[in-house]
Amino acid sequence: MSRTVYVNGDYLPEADAKVSIFDRGFLMADGVYEVTSVLDGKLIDFEGHAVRLARSLAELEMASPIGDDDLAGMFRELVRLNRIEQGMIYLQITRGNPGDRSFVFPDASVPSTIVAFTQDVPNLAEPPVAKVGFKVITIPDLRWDRVDIKTTQLLYPSMGKMLARKAGCDDSWFVADGAVTEGTSNNAYIVKGNRIITRQLGSDILHGITRAAVLRFAAEAQFEVEERAFTVAEAQAADEAFSTAASIFVMPVVEIDGKTVGTGKPGPVAVRLREIYLEEMRKTAI
Ligand code: PLP
């Protein structure tokens, strides 16, 4: 079924949606994005995504083409037009089309490009893989030093995903200076007893919106939370491991580089945090 998508203020059939070949998003990956989940036809943690979007734009000195209320309204309209019960909304904002290719940023008179579309995922809350968990491999983190900005430069994460596929796994975790940074498109955690360990915020990981919520819920549920780097060996020897992202919520990780983590089945902490996350976020969805 053809989707209705959003391009620069218009709702259009996807086949009619067009962006210039001179758009800096296309030529330079000069753009930022957000992925917001939809459950029960409602937006999950809209505010968190809107705040991070504003930060990404500010870090790149890119003007925001839309206010938060209009953004929420546009997301809701896309959900309604495409009858999404469970799925995602992808939003991308680029520095626009200066009419030619140049490394120099165009002046402020060039409007940003804003596009958004829905992805229908009827089993988003209960995908089969959540019952068995992810198998991951580790690969060197070869990304640039500002991955805290959610840019559309996703070639290396995409290559990481392909390497994982080739190894018969679900994802890659990146490693820098001997420690895990994060997954290709998710934050990484280990569990030891009652303690949940995840890398501290910095410019070397994306400040996950799901991460913030999960750590809050974990603390409320009396888990200890420790924000620090951990090694691959420590992760392999942990009781449990998991990843978080808006599109996978809390995903158990049961194998790292061929070594079984814990029992090799989704662990009780990850399973519990997934339940709490879904329950709590459904309550505040808009
Ligand atoms: N880390 C990276 C590199 C990501 O690409 C993502 C999501 O796309 C995340 C972490 C998780 O962020 P969030 O929970 O906001 O989806």
Contact in structure between 205 and 154 (CB atoms under 8 Å): no
Taking residues 56-75, report their average pLDDT: 96
The rounded Å distance from CA 221 to ligand 1 centre is: 23
* 103 shares a domain with 146: no
Please tell me the distance between residue 118's alpha carbon and the centre of ligand 1 in angstroms.
18
User: Which one of 94, 120, 146 terminates a domain?
Assistant: 120
Residue 1: pLDDT band by 50, 70, 90 thresholds? Answer: confident
Question: What's residue 281's pLDDT?
Answer: 97
46-59 helix and 68-81 helix, angle to the nearest 10 degrees: 120
177 and 268 within one domain: yes
∠ CA 30-32-38, rounded to 5°: 150
pLDDT at 199 over 90: yes
- What is the residue range of 46's domain? 4-120
43 alpha carbon to ligand 1 midpoint, in Å?
17
**Of the residues 89, 120, 151, the one at which a domain ends:** 120
- Average pLDDT along the chain: 98
Residues counted in the chain: 286
- Mark whether 97 and 145 lie in a shared domain: no
Per-residue pLDDT reduced to its tens digit, 74-85:
999 999 999 999
Looking at the 3D structure of the chain, how many domains does it have?
Answer: 2
Residue 68: per-residue pLDDT: 97
Catalytic residue list contains 150:
yes
Mutate to test the pocket of ligand 1, among 35, 146, 186, 210 (most ligand atoms within 8 A of CB): 186
Is the CB of 245 inside a 6 Å radius of any atom of ligand 1? Answer: yes
Residue 210 identity? T
CA 109 / ligand 1 centre spacing (Å) = 31
Per-residue pLDDT tens for 111-168? 999 999 999 999 999 999 999 999 999 999 999 999 999 999 999 999 999 999 999 9
Beta-carbon neighbour count of residue 101 at 10 Å? 11
* Nearest residue to 97 (alpha-carbon basis) of 8, 175, 178, 35: 8
pLDDT one-digit tens code per residue, 215-257 = 999 999 999 999 999 999 999 999 999 999 999 999 999 999 9
Can you give the CATH number for the domain in which 252 is found? Answer: 3.20.10.10
From the CB of residue 158, how many other CB atoms can be counted at a distance below 10 Å?
Answer: 11
pLDDT at 202: 98
Q: In angstroms, what is the span from residue 206 Cα to ligand 1's centroid?
A: 6
Quote the CA–CA distance of 164 and 135 in Å, as a whole number: 9
For residues 220 and 216, give the distance between their C-alpha atoms in angstroms, rounded to a whole number: 6
Judge if 264 and 140 occupy the same domain.
Answer: yes
Whether residues 104 and 142 share a domain: the answer is: no
Burial letters 159-181, b for 16+ CB under 10 A, else e: ebbeebeeeebbbbbbbbeebbb
Strand 42-43 and strand 113-120: the pairing is: unpaired
Cβ–ligand 1 contact at 235 (below 6 Å): no
Q: Establish whether residue 138 lines the binding site of ligand 1, counting it when its CB lies within 6 angstroms of any ligand atom.
A: no
Which of 42, 150, 161, 265 is labelled catalytic? 150
Question: Are 240 and 261 in contact, with CB atoms under 8 Å apart?
Answer: yes
Residues 57 and 136 in one domain: no
Q: Is the distance from CB of 175 to CB of 232 less than 8 angstroms?
A: yes
Q: For residue 258, which amino acid is it?
A: G
> Would you place residue 279 in the very low, low, confident or very high pLDDT band (cuts 50, 70, 90)?
very high
Ligand 1 atom closest to 49 (CA): 15
Average pLDDT on 17-22 reads 98
Residues 22 and 48 in one domain: yes
Task: Find out whether the beta carbon of 266 lies less than 6 Å from any atom of ligand 1.
Answer: no
According to DSSP, residue 263 is labeled T
Tell whether ligand 1 has an atom less than 6 A from the beta carbon of residue 246: yes
The mean pLDDT value for 13-39 works out to 98
* Residue that finishes a domain, picked among 79, 96, 120: 120
Residues 20, 139 share a domain: no
Closest ligand 1 atom number to CA of residue 211: 14
- The atom number, within ligand 1, closest to the CA of 157 reads 3
CATH of the domain at 36: 3.30.470.10
Q: Return the ligand 1 atom nearest residue 209 CA.
A: 15
Percent residues over pLDDT 70 in the chain:
100
Same-domain check for residues 221 and 252: yes
Which residues are 245's β-sheet partners?
249
* Same domain assignment for residues 173 and 88: no
Q: Which of 176, 22, 25, 187 is nearest to 94 (CA)?
A: 25
Do 150 and 277 share a domain, yes or no?
yes
The answer to whether residues 191 and 219 belong to one domain is: yes
